[in-house]
Amino acid sequence: MEPLIREARPEDKPFIEEIARLTWSGDDYLARVFDEWLRDGYFYVLELDGRVIGTAKLTLLPGKVGWLEGLRVHPDHRGRGYGRKLHNFMLELGERLAQGGRIEALEFATYFLNRESISMAEKTGFQVKAKFFVLGAKTEDLGLEEPERVEPTLEDLTLGIIPVGWRFVRRSEGALKWIKRNAELYDFNGFRFLVSKKGTTFTPLDVGLATLKAMLPAMAWVANERNQKEFDLMLPSGVKPLLPGLRRLGLHLWDETEEPNVLVFRKKIALRGEDNGDTPSR
């Protein structure tokens, strides 16, 4: 039977939970966001013989960006082209949304070892537009210091591309409004950091070594309040010279690497008859 891509339905949840249990050693977030993604829309599954074996999601972000996330294939069905089928479906969806004026580009972020996703992206016209380091920390290794919750302003958004969890938005008034709905800003002794309302991946808005050291106990406090024993920091690629110092602070890279391990891809969508301007040079 031919695989079918369709909108996700409430009864798909057990299949999604199974895929999540078998992804990232059971630490996949997919099951936790299932209900939210159903309400948001643009959430699709790939069905084969009555079973859901794959997923994909598009989320509308500020700046007319269609953010691609949640591309998964059940481990028993990988290596058969289903991931590519989902990817191509989302590209077609992006083109339809662009024709309707909803978006102008597709973007997504992936881990540097996700070679299949990177290969599909490069073959379909995506280009790397930003690189970040994601580093982990253990809550129990840091003293807990309570920060102050504050309302973000545009002046707080000191980065051109701002990570909010594993989504990335470009600095703008629209991004500020989106951040107010989806993230929290904390202040600790004059140093500020963002964190998604539903996760524990932190974005320091000042990335000096001394300021990061000062903020870590406050981040640990937030993570502890959310009953998390570990948390992550998303830092711009420019912190590379600081890696030895960051390790001394107790931070660790997920895999041993000296290069940024998170890649943000973008593909500008051209309307029919237009050049998208993103064709890679040979």
Calpha distance 120→108 (Å, rounded): 12
What residue spans of the chain are helical by DSSP H? Answer: 13-21, 30-40, 82-99, 115-123, 173-182, 209-225, 243-248
What pTM was estimated for this model as a whole? 0.91
pLDDT, tens digit (0-9, with 9 covering 90-100), for 78-125 = 888 999 999 999 999 999 999 999 999 999 999 999 998 999 999 999
Structure tokens at 115: 């070679």
What angle (nearest 5°) sits at the alpha carbon of residue 183, between those of residues 128 and 19? 65
Residue 279 pLDDT: 36
Same fold, 4-103 and 131-262: yes
In CATH, the number for domain 4-103 is: 3.40.630.30
> Do the Cβ atoms of 117 and 107 come closer than 8 Å?
no
Calpha distance 151→149 (Å, rounded): 7
pLDDT, tens digit (0-9, with 9 covering 90-100), for 213-234 = 999 999 999 999 999 999 999 9
What residue spans of 22-144 are helical by DSSP H? Answer: 30-40, 82-99, 115-123
Calpha distance 280→268 (Å, rounded): 12
How far is C-alpha 72 from the chain's CA centre? 14
- pLDDT per residue, tens digit, the chain (282 aa), is 789 999 999 999 999 999 999 887 777 889 889 999 999 999 999 999 999 999 999 999 999 999 999 999 998 998 889 999 999 999 999 999 999 999 999 999 999 999 989 999 999 999 999 999 999 999 999 989 999 999 999 999 999 999 999 999 999 999 999 999 999 999 999 999 999 998 899 999 998 999 999 999 999 999 999 999 999 999 999 999 999 999 999 999 988 788 999 999 999 997 665 554 443 332
Under CATH, which architecture does the 131-262 domain have? 3-Layer(aba) Sandwich (3.40)
Q: Is 172 exposed, middle or buried (0-12, 13-18, 19+ CB in 10 A)?
A: middle
Could you give the C-alpha distances from 36 to 15, 31, 108, 164, 203, in angstroms and in order?
Answer: 16, 10, 19, 17, 23
Domain map (residue ranges) of the chain? 4-103, 131-262
Task: Return the bridge partners of 136, or none.
Answer: 232, 252
The residue to which tokens 């699709």 are assigned: 44
Pairing status of strand 201-204 against strand 167-170: unpaired
Structure tokens at 45: 């599954």
